[in-house]
Structure 1
Amino acid sequence: MRTILEALYHGQLQPNMTIVPSHPEYLSACKQVTAETQQWRERLGEEVFRALEEYLDLYDSVNSMYVEAAFHHGFKLGANLLIETMSPRQ
């Protein structure tokens, strides 16, 4: 079995590809989003809906950047906590 560092180095560790929220309402919310997306497509027509999708893609991109920054911050905070915990008290 490989270490976490080896798996990360070899591109085998991709937590963003395996995370599935455990919130009990997650799957039903996903189904509702899919159904409502189809309803909006029918109401708006293809051209307007395509413009809306471009806007939503931009919003998702901004949100992804924020989530990535939050992940980095949390990871660094955790690493610093470990360093502080393992360092001799001064």
Structure 2
Amino acid sequence: MDSILESLYHGNLHPDENIIPDDSQYSILRKRTSDIIEVWKKRLSAEEFDELEALLDLYGQTHGMELAASFKYGFRMGAGIMVEVFTEKEELADTMSCFWG
């Protein structure tokens, strides 16, 4: 089994594909969303549904960007916490905050 660094180097880490919320409401909401999309598919013409799908794709892309930004922010903050813990220099939070934004 590869180390985390080896997996990162070889492009085998895909957190966006492997993260599934453990909230009990997640699967319920996914099913509800799927059911509602099917209702709209039946209600709209093929052209109108294609437009709705295009809108949902745009939303998915922007949401993915937001998740990536959130991941980077959280990772940087976590790394900053570890640096602060290991160096015992609490003022690092102020100097590193420029990297978090």
TM, length-normalised to structure 2: 0.79
For 1:60, the equivalent position in structure 2 comes to: 60
- Flag the structure with more relative contact order, 1 or 2, with Cα contacts below 8 A and sequence separation at least 6: 2
* Structure 1: 4+ residue segments shifted above 4 A: none
Whole-angstrom CA distance in 1 between matches of 2:28 and 2:45: 26
For 2:79, the equivalent position in structure 1 comes to: 79
Unaligned runs of 5+ in 2: 91-101
Counting aligned pairs with the same residue, the percent is: 37
For 2:38, the equivalent position in structure 1 comes to: 38
One-letter amino acid matched to 1:76: R
Unaligned runs of 5+ in 1: none
For 1:47, the equivalent position in structure 2 comes to: 47
For 1:20, the equivalent position in structure 2 comes to: 20
Per mean C-alpha deviation after superposition, the further-off stretch among 11-20 and 77-86 is: 11-20
Aligned length: 90
RMSD across aligned positions (CA): 1.6
Whole-angstrom CA distance in 2 between matches of 1:89 and 1:20: 35
